[in-house]
Amino acid sequence: MRALVTGGGGFLGRYIVEQLQARGDQVRIFARGSYPELEQSGVEVHQGDLRDAAAVNSAVQGMDAVFHVAAVPGIWGPWSKYYEINTLGTRHVIAACLAQRVPRLVYTSSPSVVYDGHAHLNADESLPYPASYLCYYPHSKAIAEQEVLTANGQQGLLTVSLRPHLIWGPRDNHLIPRLVQRAQAGRLVRIGDGSNLISMSYVENAAAAHLQAHDALTTTQACAGQAYFINEPEPVRLWDWVNEILVLGNLPPVRRALPATAAWGLGLMCEAVYKTLGRESEPPMTRFLASQLSQSHTYSVARAQRDFGYAPQIDYAEAMRRLRPLVKTLTGDKKESDPDALKRPGR
């Protein structure tokens, strides 16, 4: 198979690239940067921007499948940035797939596209899109997801959307580094009472889900035109998991706490100040961040298991062992962490 991975040099995208290569597929990536190490491994690299429709069309040409992973994440910034890259960029990918007669498109979405401001417990895909959003990232991704699913069946194109929740693992260049940095600076504060449950996606399992969904498009097609939550079947307590990561780097656990209502109020104030000043840098707190850190967000993967056999291959204990070198590198710690502390956080 000839497969294009947009954002193939990024965190999740590179794991998808590696898993495709491991099974013998020919891989091309579309990314803004250059990746000589990927080229040396046999990957064809197309440099470009999702906002450039012609560049996207060129990258898609000759492909049997497209994995559209590239996006701009974040909880702050102008609407134009998120809309142009996440929404219009996806529109360019869809148009290119249709123009080039690509038969299969797998889109990387997010559970935040259906986040309505309330806690979610074992929620499934019946959750509707909300009427409004607390930040621009999920809004731009929700529009894109709906357009991907609407494109299913057009000119022979089959599409599926995956919503991995809280992707983590080795080579993470966003979540884990920020967590460690804040802990080392003494700026890590628990939001809420610490009892909130979350679903999370170990990166290699999330990547495998993309291949599993793609392969189902070529066989049963049961997942065509559908969206799926992707995460480990068992949730964990968020702040127990955070403390376990800190243990890996021999850092102290989070001891300071802020009530959820206070964090929400602080977020509202920060948003108002930043908007007034026209600042594009991320505020220390927003309403979206306060709710994500204090509420439970867990999702059922029963539908993904049923329709395309989603089954995580890396269990929690092994995933934490694989994460340890990254945390130790970030902290500069060379001591061995306590193996007895590497237990699955309570439910």
CA angle centred on 33, ends 37 and 25, rounded to 5°: 50
Read off the pLDDT band of 280 (50, 70, 90): confident
Predicted pLDDT of residue 342: 46
Residue range 76-86: average pLDDT?
Answer: 96
Read off the pLDDT band of 124 (50, 70, 90): very high
Does the pTM exceed 0.85? yes
Reference 30, options 61, 6, 62, 2; nearest CA is 6
Predicted pLDDT of residue 339: 46
Residue range 26-39: average pLDDT?
Answer: 96
Read off the pLDDT band of 104 (50, 70, 90): very high
Predicted pLDDT of residue 118: 94
- Cβ contacts of 219 within 8 Å, gap of 6 or more: none
Rounded CA-CA distance 165/168 in Å is: 9
Portion of the chain with pLDDT greater than 90, in percent: 95
Residue range 320-328: average pLDDT?
Answer: 95
Residue 55 in this model has a pLDDT that exceeds 70: yes
Rounded CA-CA distance 64/72 in Å is: 25
**Please, what are the domains in the chain?**
2-165+200-231+298-313 (3.40.50.720), 171-199+236-295+315-347 (no CATH)
Question: Cβ distance 30 to 46 under 8 Å?
Answer: yes
CA distances from 87 to 80, 166, 276 (A): 10, 21, 26
Predicted pLDDT of residue 334: 62
Residue 65 in this model has a pLDDT that exceeds 60: yes
Least confident of 16-20, 84-88, 274-278: 274-278
As a residue count, the chain comes to 347
What does residue 303 show for φ and ψ, rounded to 5 degrees? -70, -40
CA distances from 106 to 9, 85, 164, 181 (A): 17, 17, 13, 33
Residue range 263-289: average pLDDT?
Answer: 94
What does residue 171 show for φ and ψ, rounded to 5 degrees? 75, 5
Q: Which of 107, 137, 202, 228 is catalytic?
A: 137
Question: Cβ distance 176 to 168 under 8 Å?
Answer: yes
Portion of the chain with pLDDT greater than 70, in percent: 96
Residue 86 in this model has a pLDDT that exceeds 50: yes
Active site residue 137: yes
Predicted pLDDT of residue 154: 97
Residue range 251-265: average pLDDT?
Answer: 96
Predicted pLDDT of residue 332: 87
What pLDDT digit, counting tens, does each position of 135-192 carry? 999 999 999 999 999 999 999 999 999 999 999 999 999 999 999 999 999 999 999 9
Predicted pLDDT of residue 347: 44
